[in-house]
Amino acid sequence: MRSPFLHPFARPAAAAEDFITITRGEGALVWDDNENDYIDAIASLWYCNVGHGRWEIVDQVASQMAVLENYNTFDIFTNETVETFAAFVAAAAPMEDSRIFFTSSGSEAVETALKLARLTHSLKGDGKRTEFVGRVNSYHGVAYGGVSVQGLPLNQQGFGPLLDTVHQVSAHDIDEIEKLFERSGSTIAAVITEPVQGAGGVYPPADGYLARLRDLCDEYGVLLIFDEVITGFGRLGSWFAASHYGVVPDMITFAKGCTSGYLPLGGVVVGEAVLDVLEADPNFILRHGYTYSGHPSACAAALANTAILLEENLFDRVPVIAERIGGGLTALAAMGAIVEARGVGGIWSAELQPGLSAPAVRNEMLKRGVIARPIGLSIIAFCPPFVTTDEQLDQCVVALREAIAALS
């Protein structure tokens, strides 16, 4: 029997019994409808930073809904909760005098940043700058702009035609971007990049890559967008990976960890290179927005979430995740159990040996009470909640080791 729910990133022909029904969660654990418990080693989908079952968030959202569940923020309307969270994000971001445009997802945030990039150049009288640069292995959501600029061909198949103004460059060769700029720099609106590539396999940047990219964008008048939907709100131990790497982009997209997934919320941190243009004409109207932009209940969840991150000093757990997960995977690589361990801070992956299937390894890990994420056929990713205990982190590596042994 098939489910009435058409699942995302799944086989439409799958039977209802092929799915695992998650019923509840607490901390780093979730339970299925058979009362099996699992360590959530991927924070659901890269987002549940403060862990499951946080009543502080539930209570704050309920209090907000009891007063004002939502009201649109188009034109002349606003609400106190969105203004408060916008001020928090602007203060946490590395750009001076930034402003925040809110969305309901990372995909919407990316779409917004791409549109703002083109709009900025158009308002400056440089309308020929319509092209974008994306990197191989990058993931930028599922809206048409984000699908067009990402570097994962499987996610693009069958959805064309996509934007035809996109240059795909290799993930780590900064010289390739410099040569591209020399040829076409005058028609490029923006480069979009994840500081750490996540859904494409967890690839940290090469040393100096992001700083050199910033310099090239400045030299050729190209805007720089950091897609921090995964890395934002603490995944590398700071509010944004931009701060971790000491590189200031023109825009930052965020989502996932800003509410730890308790309610959908995303946004764009917009810096001065864009704001100076948008604000130049006092009569200009920004004709872009979403029904739920600045949703006060979602912003209440975000405020409660960030309060937990601060009050419990949860960023201090990021080096522990790096030590336990990253160190454990590095040890597996040294003994030949995996090809390579990749990662930084609280996000890691294991490149499997040839002949092993990542979905099969994931399934064996499930039998051992750990949920990790297969990426393609050869990568297992880890992105655990910050509240995951040392013992649970170690068990994630043990489960991977035992799963590999069972399939070898």
Average pLDDT, the chain: 98
Tell me the percentage of the chain whose pLDDT exceeds 70: 100
Give the pair of three-digit tokens for residue 360.
Answer: 């099969």
- Helix, strand or coil for residue 212? helix
Q: How far apart are the first and last CA of the chain?
A: 33
**DSSP letter assigned to residue 24:** E
- Helix, strand or coil for residue 382? strand
pLDDT, one tens digit per residue, over 123-176 is 999 999 999 999 999 999 999 999 999 999 999 999 999 999 999 999 999 999
Average pLDDT in the 244-264 region? Answer: 98
The architecture (CATH level 2) of 16-53+314-407 comes to: Alpha-Beta Complex (3.90)
1 pLDDT above the threshold of 90? no
Cis preceding-peptide flag for 161 (omega within 30 of 0): yes
pLDDT, one tens digit per residue, over 316-329 is 999 999 999 999 99
Report which residue type is found at 295. H
pLDDT value at position 284?
A: 98
pLDDT, one tens digit per residue, over 81-94 is 999 999 999 999 99
Per the confidence metrics, is the pTM higher than 0.85? yes
Give the pair of three-digit tokens for residue 25.
Answer: 């969660």
How many residues does this entry show for the chain?
Answer: 408
Average pLDDT in the 12-34 region? Answer: 97
Phi, psi of 232 (to 5 degrees): -65, 155
pLDDT value at position 261?
A: 98
What CA–CA distance (Å, rounded) separates 23 from 30? Answer: 8
Cα dihedral: 71, 75, 80, 83 (round 10): 120
pLDDT value at position 306?
A: 98
What CA–CA distance (Å, rounded) separates 266 from 244? Answer: 20
Domain boundaries, the chain: 16-53+314-407, 58-311
pLDDT, one tens digit per residue, over 258-317 is 999 999 999 999 999 999 999 999 999 999 999 999 999 999 999 999 999 999 999 999
Topology adopted by domain 58-311: Aspartate Aminotransferase; domain 2 (3.40.640)
Tell me the percentage of the chain whose pLDDT exceeds 90: 99
pLDDT, one tens digit per residue, over 101-131 is 999 999 999 999 999 999 999 999 999 999 9
What CA–CA distance (Å, rounded) separates 252 from 268? Answer: 5
What CA–CA distance (Å, rounded) separates 45 from 32? Answer: 17
Task: List strand residue ranges (DSSP E) for 42-104, in order.
Answer: 99-103
Q: How many CB atoms lie within 10 A of CB 139?
A: 25
Q: Around 261, how many Cα atoms within 13 Å sit in the side-chain half-sphere?
A: 15
Nearest to 154 by CA among 18, 44, 8, 9: 9
DSSP strand pairing (370-371 vs 37-40): parallel
**Confidence tier at 237 by pLDDT (50, 70, 90):** very high
What CA–CA distance (Å, rounded) separates 111 from 107? Answer: 6
Nearest to 190 by CA among 258, 122, 281: 122
